[in-house]
Structure 1
Amino acid sequence: MHVLAEEWPLLSFTLLTQLSVGAYLFFVIIRSLPKKVDRQLSILVTKRGMLLIGPVMLVALILSVFHLGDPFGAYRSLLNLDSSWLSREIVFSGLFFALWLVSYYLDRKGAWNQIVAWMNVVVGLGAIYSMASIYATSIKPAWTDVNTYLAFYGTTILFGAVASMLVILLSKEEKTAGLNSIIKGIGLVGLAAIIVQLIYLPVYVAGLPVSGLAGLESASLITDTYALSTLIRWVLSIVGLAMIGFAFYRKIEPKIQFKFYYTALVFVLAGEFLGRFIFYATGVPIIVG
């Protein structure tokens, strides 16, 4: 089974949105820890990352519009806001970008506003929930499981953890004891996001056959056709996160530091991309009638 060509923009949209929301979440958290690090320092080390969130989210929104088939008629998807998770996803995603513009403008003016920032965190997490709910309410047993929410929020947290650690580590600001403590904590959160998904994975696969032939086929795809791909997916994500931790604790030479960190980022991105590909490829619909 292959992921259809028209699903690639959708796959990319989900990952880029989760990257944007996850990074924003962690940047806001870092800026909300005055006892750990001086407010001005926390703003300085995350400023470049805050700038990059907008362009990434904009690309995600463009991909989502073209996935609808008729870009000029995309507004019609907003007409069912009261009953459609797709409509809610679009509204929350667009609002997240709009509030990012506001928060970044305030940041550039030296008037960073925590209230606006945390409002946007809630909006962003709402976009991820709406996104996951589209699949959780489908006719594909592999998607109508809590695993969908774990996967989407897991990727959001892992992306956010990796992005925030790299932004801090690659900044030119002095790495104080407070910043080092934050990096360690973020790394543990990223690791926890992986562990939770791995713990639930066998439970998820074992429960699929209960959903009938479609669920049984999905389970077979995960444990047979995509078994190696699934293993590689988790190895890439774990190794990427571990590389960042290794470089942080071993204090590797500045000459190779950048290459090391960017390689780690590529590993994590590749792992999550492969994981999302498997998510789409193993979704087998229930045959009705």
Structure 2
Amino acid sequence: MLEYVIKRLAYVVATLAVMSVLIFLITQIMPGNIAHLILGDFASPADIATLEAQLGLNDPWYVQYLRWASAMLHGDMGTSLSMNQPVADVIWGAVGRSALLAGISIVLVAIIGIWLGVYAGVRRGSKSDNAISMVTYVNIAVPEFFWAIVVIMLFAGYLRILPATGYASLDDGLWNWLRHLILPVFTLVTGLIAHVSRLTRSSVIDVMNTQYIRAARARGLSERRVVRDHALRNALLPAITVLAIDVGVLMGGVVVAETIFSFPGLGRTLIYAIQHMDLPLLQASMMVVTFVYAMANLSADLLYAFLNPKIRYGRGDA
């Protein structure tokens, strides 16, 4: 198991290294001049040239990259051009709020999505299975922003029981804190729950038709024990993988939800950095998103290997 963990960690490090180069290069070819952005529209060409020399902007790109990557590794994310404050201060506050939003969402997706999938899978062809399938098909087809518009119109516009935008801390009261999370979380989880439940249902149906399940039933075990002790362990393996993939999908959904609901998280910070050509803030935001996605996939790989020893012993780890 240790060898497997080391191999996966090496993949993560390599992925982050490659992505850091791509992120740096992409931000370097974006239109605009950092020195001009810092000094303003009325700066003279001489002042801009002087600042470019001070910032090392005339150095080859690989020298600039190594300087930036070294600073990032030491926790120095630079200074925001538009806010004139350390990027780390801006990022970590936004990351905490986005982590709260994404964390609640992924837990709900895992619990509700897997439960619905198992429930529908063991009752294949029943009215409840058909009802769940119909709802999930609709939710998979409908984009997130549609549900965002619907819930804003219904709960914030018509019923006026939930706020349409903003964020409240726990210091403002538990209910006020929850009220600002309900609509963004609902928007994020609706499609992902449908995705996970459909995959789980298919996996459960496949497992329930295997030989060892028939053997367990032949031994006189109750259907509950057959499902709990024999079917779930193998049926949940694909669900674990898709949950890791959904973390990446969730990161994209967070950007949409935070923009629509004016939620001050990492997604909205990323959009702000693009709109204001704030390259240090943009680079740091993109690296944090990449790191989160890499960690989610690493966690899924390790959990998958824990549940299925063939992954870490033998050909499964190739």
Bin for the TM-score computed over the shorter chain: 0.3 to 0.5
Structure index of larger Rg: 2
TM value normalised by structure 1: 0.33
